[in-house]
């Protein structure tokens, strides 16, 4: 690039785009959020019925499959933390606390 024009054009085009544009949630993300919310409700029903072992297993599956989504949605994270506490899933709670900024205290 002897004259620098292509490089200048690249720099100009990058300046016009917002650096941190927040992507709009896709239909898949919304469907995943609904799925996670429904699973958390199912876990709470398992806890209420006294099936703590099954609830812990369901929490583990949910955490390993959807951790980024759970952490990204504060209301979902709070509900999931409540489920983890109620079914005495301390190791999963520590894992979530280590990996996220959820208000777990």
Q: At what angle do helices 52-72 and 90-99 cross, to 10 degrees?
A: 10
Q: Is residue 73 part of a domain?
A: yes
In the prediction, which pLDDT does 80 show? 94
What's the burial of 68, exposed, middle or buried (CB within 10 Å: 0-12/13-18/19+)?
exposed
Residue range 39-82, pLDDT digits in tens: 999 999 999 999 999 999 999 999 999 999 898 888 999 999 99
Count of structural domains within the chain: 1
Range of the domain at 50: 26-99
Q: Is residue 42 part of a domain?
A: yes
Q: Is residue 3 part of a domain?
A: no
Phi-psi sector, 4: left (phi>0), alpha (psi -120 to 50), beta: left
The number of beta carbons lying within 10 Å of the beta carbon of residue 78 is: 13
């Amino acid at each position: 690039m002897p004259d620098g024009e292509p490089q200048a054009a690249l720099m100009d085009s990058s300046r016009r785009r917002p650096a941190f544009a927040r992507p709009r949630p896709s239909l898949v993300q919304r469907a995943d959020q609904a799925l996670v919310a429904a699973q958390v409700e199912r876990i709470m029903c398992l806890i209420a019925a006294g099936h703590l072992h099954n609830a812990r297993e369901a929490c583990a599956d949910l955490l390993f499959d959807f951790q980024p989504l759970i952490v990204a949605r504060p209301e979902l994270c709070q509900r999931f933390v409540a489920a983890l506490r109620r079914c005495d899933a301390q190791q999963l709670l520590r894992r979530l606390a280590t990996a996220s900024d959820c208000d777990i205290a």
